[in-house]
A = this chain, B = another copy of it.
Amino acid sequence: MSICKLDLRNGRVDLSHGAGGRAMGQLIEGIFHKAFDNDWLRAGNDQSAFAVPAGRLVMTTDGYVVSPLFFPGGNIGSLAVHGTINDIAMAGAWPLYLSAGFIIEEGFPLADLDRIAETMGAASREAGVPIITGDTKVVERGKADGVFICTSGVGIVPAGLDLRSDAARPGDAVIVSGSIGDHGVAVMSKRENLEFDTNIVSDSAALHGLVAAMIEVAGSSIRLMRDPTRGGLAAILNEIASASKIGLRLDEAAIPIKPEVAAACEFLGLDPLNVANEGKLVVLVAPEVADALLAVMRTHPLGAEAALIGHAEVSDHCFVQMATSFGGGRIIDWLSGEQLPRIC
């Protein structure tokens, strides 16, 4: 099929690009096959096959609706790749393959779609996790918002590892892999009607390499891992506390946060504990292994600022409590409102 009709500089997506005919073939070949570049896609099937050894796999899926689509440190494409890889990695699994579905608004510039796909392809190659199958839909102008991306992924769990969301126990150490709030602040800084100057870039990154190093040193002493995306550290810690029926006690002074992020959160009226991250993880680990785990995390570029921020304790009400820097204490609750829509 010829791709000569696709004007990547000035063209726009129209409804024919989603209609299953020749134009859709041109879009898929001229943008997605070019950007993702692998033999699975070139085979041109509605599915792709791969060999697996006997064992345990994990599967995950995510929709991405971030607004704006482009932000400091990435765009919706790299975010979709990193986010799905991280959901696989949080099971202690090694990501094998990704799929990508695009829902595109009529009129969306082909140049922007091309840029997003190229960023996705680069993120996928850098992570070593190919995008092997996909789908493209186009909806009428005003029925979507530029482009939404749905990525799914499969990964393989190391033999003998079985992380469960309810596995935390009183006494466990709570470690975060680096500074919090960077992604949310980077995206907010480019929001219409809100733009402000900051040097903060999204922390969007694929964490499977860091996780593999952590498993090597701490193995099944790791109780569970989670990535604090939407809802931030506060939501994820409350989920952990509820699932494992424990309390968590944090030390505010130990939680890494960049001064610019803290300043931006103050300016925006946000608690950094509620702000999304896309390249950070929280791990609960048996206390006797915490130091060794921290040490190995700090040797990895994505864990250089890892910090022990608290510990698990017995709590009938599964409270997450924090000793503040001023010597007081407060309960960290779920975010109940809609402070930060479309952050991922």
| A residues neighboring B (CB under 8 Å) | 1, 14-16, 18-25, 43-65, 67, 87-88, 90-91, 93, 97, 99-103, 132-140, 142-145, 148, 150, 152, 154-155, 157, 162, 164-165, 226-227, 229-232, 235, 239, 242-243, 276, 334-342
User: How near does chain B come to A327, taking the closest CB pair, in angstroms?
Assistant: 28
Known A44-B243, A101-B62, A164-B43: A338·B19 in contact at CB below 8 Å: yes
With A and B bound together, what is the CA distance between A235 and B24 in angstroms?
A: 11
Number of identical monomers bound together in the oligomeric complex = 2
Which residue of B56, B61, B139 contacts A145 across the interface (Cβ within 8 Å)?
B139
Q: Known contacts A59-B132, A61-B152; can you find 13 more A-B pairs with CB under 8 A?
A: A19-B341, A20-B231, A21-B334, A22-B334, A45-B90, A46-B226, A48-B59, A49-B57, A50-B59, A62-B101, A101-B152, A143-B145, A154-B154
Contact A51 B59, beta carbon cutoff 8 Å? no
Q: A23–B341 contact, CB under 8 A?
A: no
Shortest C-beta distance, A229 to chain B (Å), equals: 7
CA of A18 to CA of B45, assembled, Å: 33
Knowing A48-B58, A103-B63, the reply to whether A19 touches B340 (Cβ < 8 A) is yes
Which residues of chain B are near A239, meaning CB under 8 Å?
A: 44
Q: Given contacts A54-B53, A55-B51, A342-B139, is CB(A335)–CB(B91) below 8 Å?
A: no
User: Considering only CB atoms, which chain B residue lies closest to A15 in the complex?
Assistant: B338
A140 to chain B, nearest CB (A): 7
Inter-chain contact A59/B154, CB cutoff 8 Å: yes
Q: Collect the chain B residues with CB atoms within 8 Å of residue A57's CB.
A: 49-52, 57, 154
Residue in A20, A64, A93, A134 with the greatest tally of chain B CB atoms within 10 Å: A20
Question: What are 8 contact pairs spanning A and B, CB under 8 A?
Answer: A22-B334, A46-B227, A47-B90, A49-B58, A62-B101, A101-B152, A103-B148, A139-B148
A320 to B155, CA, bound (A): 41
Contact across chains for A97 and B59 when beta carbons are under 8 A apart: yes
Q: How far is the CA of A139 from the CA of B142 in the complex (A)?
A: 13
List of B residues within 8 angstroms of A227 by Cβ: 46
User: Contact: B56 with A50, CB < 8 Å?
Assistant: yes
Could you say which residues of chain B place their CB within 8 Å of the CB of A97?
59
Evaluate whether A23 and B54 lie within 8 angstroms (CB atoms) in the complex, with A99-B61, A138-B341 already known: no
Question: Which among B19, B157, B165, B341 is the interface contact of A230 at CB below 8 angstroms?
Answer: B19
**Chain B residues closer than 8 Å to A101, beta-carbon distance:** 61-63, 150, 152
A15 lies within 8 A of B341 (CB): yes
